[in-house]
Amino acid sequence: MKLIKGLLIFFLLITIIMTIVSNKQGEETTGSDPIINSDLDPLTISCDYSREDLLEGLTAYDAEDGYITDSIIPGNFGPFTKKGVSEIDYYVYDSEDNCGRYKREVVFSDYRSPKVALSRPLVFYPKEASDGTLRYYLSGEDCLDGDVKNIKADSSNIDYGAAGEYTLSISLINSFGDSKAYDLPVHIIKRTYGGMDIRLTDSLVYITKDTKFDPSVFVKEVEYSYTEELVPKEDWGMDIQSTVDTSKAGVYEVRYMIKKDKDPVYGSVSGVTWLTVIVADEGV
């Protein structure tokens, strides 16, 4: 009998403890989840948005706490559902840690696909470069991500040991999943060119369709290679040849060449380089 009585008391205590814990948990999660509402769906913002822009048009209400709009937290963007259009999650917690959630569409009004950039012209002597060299000079810019980390080499026909004109095909992919492909010209030049360095203001430039283009403005200076002495502009005698057609989007080039067979100081000297020009079918 004592054993039975002891067991009954034990189970009674367990029941009381479980009831207390259950009631306590019920107190901690009492009430319904707060609700987030929006009078802007979809939300249209610039790529240069602020946190306040993300919260525009939202309100949050809780049955016990009242309006808690200031507690709304923007979450992360999802991949593009179509170019320049994404979705973002929002969260809000009431004083009892109940969570309300809301998802809405976001349209980036001035979105443009990732752009490629070059830190120097892709012009090399034979055996001077490699695939790794080219990757070093390549970079990507994106209006949402800033620097593009994902640059994929799609194909290349380059023989780094032989002079010629080649093509490097790459794709830039941003964190939203948008991809932009480019075919970049690469030049391996003969060592007969030498003695003069033509320096440009840029290695690659973007221009919009149907705009005026003057290739001469991109020449910064010309220097004698061995002495680093600048060549006076009146002595350049530069030959500039451009394939740029501003009426049609695409990748083009401008060739800049100087050749002096009878330079009074240096004898036979020459220099050549190329500017890559991308005519864009959207704003740049």
pTM: 0.81
Whole-number Å distance between alpha carbons of 188 and 164: 5
What letters, b where the CB count within 10 A reaches 16 and e where it falls short, cover 163-195? eeebebebbbbbebebebebebbbbbbeeebbb
Which residues have CB under 8 Å from 282's CB, separation 6+? 112, 113, 208
Q: Which two tokens stand for residue 41?
A: 């769906």
Place of tokens 């976001």: 106
pLDDT tens for the 284 residues of the chain, in order: 443 444 334 444 444 444 444 444 444 445 699 999 999 999 999 999 999 999 999 999 999 999 999 999 999 999 999 999 999 999 999 999 999 999 999 999 999 999 999 999 999 999 999 999 999 999 999 999 999 999 999 989 999 999 999 999 999 999 999 999 999 999 999 998 889 999 999 999 999 999 999 999 999 999 998 888 999 999 899 999 999 999 999 999 999 999 988 766 667 899 999 999 999 987 66
- The number of residues making up the chain comes to 284
Spatial neighbors of 278 by CB under 8 A, at least 6 apart, are 115, 116, 182, 204, 205, 206, 207, 250, 251, 252
CB 104 within 8 A of CB 122: no
3-class SS shares of the chain: helix, strand, coil, % to 5: 15, 45, 35
Structure tokens at 159: 């023989």
Domains and their CATH numbers in the chain: 35-108 (2.60.40.10), 115-280 (2.60.40.10)
Cβ 87 vs Cβ 105: under 8 Å: yes
